[in-house]
A and B are shown apart, each in its own frame.
Chain A
C-alpha cells in the first residue's frame, strides 16, 4: 500500500510522461464529444501534425475541423489559418456562417510550375507555414508526400507551435508515418466513421459521428 502511494507520488512528477495520459499537452476540443473521448488529451493537439485520410474528397473532413477552425480564428490575437492548395474554393459565406473569422484565413495556391518535382511548392509552403510560428493551424492537400517529408512537417509544426493537418487519400493508410495522429474518414449511415490508426497515448478504434447534428448544435438549428 505504502509502496503504491509512493509510486503514485513519483509518477506525478511532471518530467514523467505515461503512455496513456498526455494530459499535459495542450489540446483543443474537436466539438464532437464522442471523438474527444478517444483522442489523447481530449481534443486536437495544439501543435504537431495530424493526418486525415479520406475515402473521397468531401466526405466530411472539413466539417470535422469546423468547430476547431471557428474556435482558433475567433480567439483574441489569433494567428493565421492557412489553406495550402485546397482542391476547390473555400466558400467564404458558409465558413463565416459556421463562425470562422475570414480575416484570419490565408489561402496559398502554388502555381502549376511549383507543384511537382524536387521543388514541390505545396509541401514547401506547408512547411514554411508550420514552422513560421505565424499560424495557429495550417491545412494542406498534398498528393504524395514521402515519409521523410512528413517527418520534416511534423518537426516544423512542433517548432512553430502550429496544428498541421494533412489530407491524404485512404490508400496512404498502409504507409507508415511520423504524424502524431492519423485517422481515416469513411461515410456511414448518418455521418462519418472516424477510425484512429495512430494516436500517441490515445485509444485506437472507430467512432461514428453525425456531422449534421454537430453543425446544427453549433448554431442552435
Chain B
C-alpha cells in the first residue's frame, strides 16, 4: 500500500501507513509549537509573493482585508496582516494561514507565509521561505537566529562587509556590540534590528482601499447597438457588485462613459435616491438610461465610475411574501416610486390628502407619497388596542370626513377646473338633455382668501345614465358648470 503523505505549509512531512488509526487532524494538531499560548500584543502575518503575475498588490491587499482590517503593503512584493484579533475567527493560526493561502490560490498566487510577533520579523521570515510560525515573543530571537541576512534587504555593501566578518545570519548580527555596529554599518541598520526583535516599535501604515470604483473595458470591436451595451457592461457591473459587497456599501451615483473613435465620450449618469448595491437593479436602471441614449458613433471602450460609496444599513426581510397574510410592500415600495419617477418625472407620481375646507376644490390636495413605515405604525397602533380589527388602523385624518360629509352626495371624481355647460333657455345640457335628481345643495363664500363662491349644486343624470354633479352660479350671469362625476 502507498503511504499517505500529509503536507502542510511546505513544512512538516509525515508519513503514516494508510489505515493508521491516527487521523490527519490529530496528527496535524500535534506538529506545531504554534499552538503555544499567545503572549504577544500583536501577531503579524508576513506574506511574500515571489511571482505576483498580473495581480496587483492593492488587489491582494483588498482581498486580505477579509481577514483583518490592519493590512499593510510592503512594496514591491509583500503584505503584512495583523491577525491577533482574527485568530479565533478562523480556527487559530492553522486555519487562518490555510484560508489565506486559499484566497491567494483563487487568483493563482503561491505565497510564502510566516507568523511572528513583529511585522519586520514576519516579513523577513516569509522572504526567507523557511517555515516560521512564532507566537511567543520570548522565542522570537531564538527562531530568528538561523535566518540569513539577505531577506533583510540591506544595501549590498553592508551585507558584503558583514559577510567578510563572518556574520551571515541575523543571530550573528544581533550578537555584535550595538555601538560598534551602528558606527560601522549605520544607525538605520541597527534601528532595523531593533524593530526586528521588537525592541523598538514598528509603526505601519494601514492599507486604505480605493474609495471609488472605476473600471474600464476596451473592446476589440466597434459596438453600434444600445442593446448590446448592457451585455458588454455586465462584467464591469459584476465587479462593481463585488466591490460594494466587500465594503458593505451602496452607491448613490454611477457614471457610465462610452468612448468613440472621434466624437467626445458619451456619458450616462445614474442618480439614486437610496444607496444601492444590488447588481440586478443597477443593471436594470442603467439599461433604462442606456436605451434612451443616442450614440453619435460606435462605441470603442466603456468605463464605469461610481460615486462615493455610502454605508448601507441592511433591513431584515419580512417573514411573509408581499401581500401574503398582511405582508407589506417592504423595500419594494420606495423602489417602485423611484423607478416610476426616474422615467416619468418627479411630479408624475403623488399621493392624496384631505384639507379642512368647505369648497370642494379646497378640501383636498396632492402630497408626497406616504412613507412605507406609515403602514407599519398604523399596524402597531391597531394591534395594540384590538388586534386585526382594521377599523382601528384608519388614521384620524380620514375619519374627519365621515361625519361632516354625507358620502352619497359627493362624487368620486372631481373635474379639476369646473367645465362650463351649454344651455338652452337657461337649462343646462351636456351631450343631450339632463335629468335632475335629488335635492339642491348650496355651497358659498370664501371671502377671506379671495376664493369667494356662491353655487347651487345639483345631481343630474345625462342621457347615457351617467350621474353628474353640476352647479349654477348664484351671481349673474347664472352660468352652469360641471364639477364632478359620481362614477
Contacts and interface: CB of A to CB of B under 8 A. Distances in A.
Interface of A: 46-47, 55-63, 66, 74-80, 86-111, 114, 121, 124-125, 128-129, 132-136, 160-162, 186-188, 212, 215-216, 218-219
Contacts of B324: 161
A210 to B, nearest CB: 12
Contacts of A135: 329, 336
Given A90-B412, A134-B335, A187-B465, 7 more contacts: A88-B415, A102-B353, A103-B370, A107-B350, A108-B340, A132-B336, A135-B336
A61 B485 CA distance: 11
Contact of A134 (B332, B394, B395, B416): B332
Interface residues of B, number: 69
Interface of B: 321-324, 326-329, 332-333, 335-337, 339-340, 343-345, 348-354, 360, 363-364, 366, 369-370, 374-376, 378-379, 382-383, 388, 390-391, 393-395, 397-398, 400-402, 405-408, 410-416, 464-468, 484-487
B336 A94 contact: no
A125 B340 CA distance: 7
A76 B351 CA distance: 19
Contacts of A160: 322-323
A47 B323 contact: yes
Given A76-B390, A106-B349, A56 B364 contact: no
A132 B410 contact: no
Contact of A133 (B322, B339, B407, B484): B322
Nearest to A188: B465
* Interface residues of chain B: helix, strand, loop or mixed (majority): mixed
A106 B413 contact: no
Given A89-B414, A91-B410, A216-B408, A77 B328 contact: yes
Contacts, number: 219
Given A92-B353, A106-B349, A114 B344 contact: yes
A106 B369 contact: yes
A96 B398 contact: yes
Contacts of A55: 464-465
A80 B333 contact: yes
B413 A58 contact: yes
Given A62-B487, A107-B349, A133 B405 contact: no
Contact of A62 (B374, B397, B412): B412
9 contacts: A87-B413, A90-B412, A91-B414, A92-B354, A96-B400, A124-B343, A161-B322, A215-B408, A219-B407
A62 B413 CA distance: 9
A134 B412 contact: no
A128 B339 contact: yes
Nearest to B485: A58
A92 B364 contact: yes
A56 B344 CA distance: 28
A79 B410 contact: no
A102 B351 CA distance: 8
B487 A58 contact: yes
B375 A77 contact: yes
B336 A134 contact: yes
B351 A94 contact: no
Contact of B366 (A59, A88, A107): A107
A106 B356 CA distance: 21
A134 B322 contact: yes
